[in-house]
């Protein structure tokens, strides 16, 4: 069921989103060659819980064992932090995180370059991030989800990237995943109409190679089928009368 949030609930999500945005900035500043993904997970947990008295939304969600999803290079999403996973120069690290506060959640992700990365990976990062901002240009009260997906897909494909189909954005609020589904592809003028005070997580996932994906034996990690690098950029937004407010920057 699609829910429209009250001003009071949006304010709670705004506060949760500020904590989440600060968490991701801390990780972007901290991640460097030689660190493990488990160390980053512990940093995020301490910042969310001990410093901000909030809840890591992903921890134990559907059995997920960590605060962060940490996915490297061809891993698209849902990578599990590990003491054995050491960051190395040239990697693309995707960090996906959620923060809950007073019964409401926010969700966001960033792609972080570890040291110097190749020009191809740098372009992938930049196109993925910009595809999010191209998408939200079309949003306002009454806009259609297909128009959002079309804007993201058109920008991504014009820049030589493929759009993952099976993994999509979503509504968010009292649970991490609510209706509606929010694809990163679509047809302009089609799909459900959005209304003011709806909250959704928009998260382009783009690949340098083909769009096909596979799941690893751990039951969580999703990778590109051809082994090509992938990037991920996500924010939680609230639809307004004439646009959107990004809650997780």
| Each residue's pLDDT tens digit, 121-138 | 999 999 999 999 999 999
Domain annotation covers residue 127? yes
Q: What is the pLDDT of residues 202-248, one digit of tens each?
A: 999 999 999 999 999 999 999 999 999 999 999 999 999 999 999 99
Q: Is the pLDDT of residue 1 over 90?
A: no
CB-side exposure of 193: number of CA atoms within 13 Å?
A: 5
Q: Burial-class residue 116 by CB neighbours within 10 Å (0-12, 13-18, 19+).
A: exposed
Q: How many domains does the chain have?
A: 1
Q: Are 140 and 239 in contact (CB under 8 A)?
A: yes
Question: What gap in Å lies between CA 141 and CA 240, rounded to an integer?
Answer: 6
**CATH code for the domain in which residue 211 is found:** 3.90.230.10
Calculate mean pLDDT across residues 71-75: 98
Name the DSSP letter for residue 38. H
Calculate mean pLDDT across residues 106-123: 98
Domain annotation covers residue 189? yes
Closest CA to 185 of 212, 159, 216, 154: 154
The pLDDT, as a whole number, for residue 42 is 98
Q: What is the pLDDT of residues 43-65, one digit of tens each?
A: 999 999 999 999 999 999 999 99
Q: Is the pLDDT of residue 113 over 90?
A: yes
Q: How far is CA 49 from CA 42, 55, 146, in A?
A: 10, 6, 37
Domain annotation covers residue 103? yes
Question: What gap in Å lies between CA 215 and CA 229, rounded to an integer?
Answer: 15
Domain annotation covers residue 2? no
Q: How confident is residue 67, by pLDDT bands cut at 50, 70 and 90?
A: very high
Closest CA to 100 of 213, 15, 192: 15
The pLDDT, as a whole number, for residue 238 is 98
Strand order in the sheet with 205-207: 162-163, 205-207, 230-232
Closest CA to 105 of 200, 190, 27: 200
Most distant CA pair in the chain: distance in Å? 48
Q: How confident is residue 155, by pLDDT bands cut at 50, 70 and 90?
A: very high
Element (H, E) at 233: none
Domain annotation covers residue 170? yes
Q: Are 128 and 231 in contact (CB under 8 A)?
A: yes
Q: Is the pLDDT of residue 84 over 90?
A: yes
Q: What pTM does this model have?
A: 0.96
Domain annotation covers residue 146? yes
Question: If you search the block for the tokens 């069921």, which residue do you land on?
Answer: 1
Element (H, E) at 29: helix 7-30
Domain annotation covers residue 1? no
Calculate mean pLDDT across residues 1-24: 97
The residues, any chain, with a CB within 8 Å of residue 4's CB and separated by 6 or more, are 195, 196, 197, 198
Average model confidence (pLDDT) for the chain? 98
The residues, any chain, with a CB within 8 Å of residue 154's CB and separated by 6 or more, are 134
Owning domain of residue 227: 7-246
The pLDDT, as a whole number, for residue 166 is 97
Q: Are 206 and 128 in contact (CB under 8 A)?
A: yes
């Amino acid at each position: 069921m699609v829910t429209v949030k009250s001003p009071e609930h949006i304010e709670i999500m705004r506060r949760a989103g500020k904590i989440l945005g600060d968490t991701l900035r801390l990780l972007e500043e901290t991640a460097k060659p030689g660190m493990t993904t488990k160390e980053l997970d512990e940093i995020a947990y301490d910042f969310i819980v001990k410093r901000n008295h909030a809840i890591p939304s992903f921890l134990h969600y559907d059995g997920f064992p960590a605060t962060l999803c940490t996915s490297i290079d061809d891993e698209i999403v849902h990578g599990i932090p590990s003491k054995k996973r050491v960051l190395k120069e040239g990697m693309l690290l995707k960090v996906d995180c959620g923060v809950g506060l007073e019964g409401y959640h926010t969700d966001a992700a960033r792609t972080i370059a570890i040291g110097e990365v190749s020009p191809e990976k740098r372009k992938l990062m930049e196109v993925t991030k910009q595809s999010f901002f191209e998408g939200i240009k079309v949003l306002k009260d009454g806009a259609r989800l297909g128009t959002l997906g079309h804007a993201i897909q058109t920008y991504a494909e014009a820049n030589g990237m493929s759009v993952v189909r099976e993994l999509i954005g979503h509504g968010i609020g009292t649970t991490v995943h609510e209706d509606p589904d929010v694809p990163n592809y679509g047809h302009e003028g089609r799909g459900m109409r959005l209304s003011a005070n709806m909250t959704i997580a928009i998260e382009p996932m783009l690949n340098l190679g083909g769009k096909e994906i596979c799941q690893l034996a751990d039951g969580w990690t999703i990778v590109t089928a051809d082994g090509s690098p992938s990037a991920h950029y996500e924010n939680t937004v609230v639809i307004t009368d004439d646009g959107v407010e990004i809650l997780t920057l």
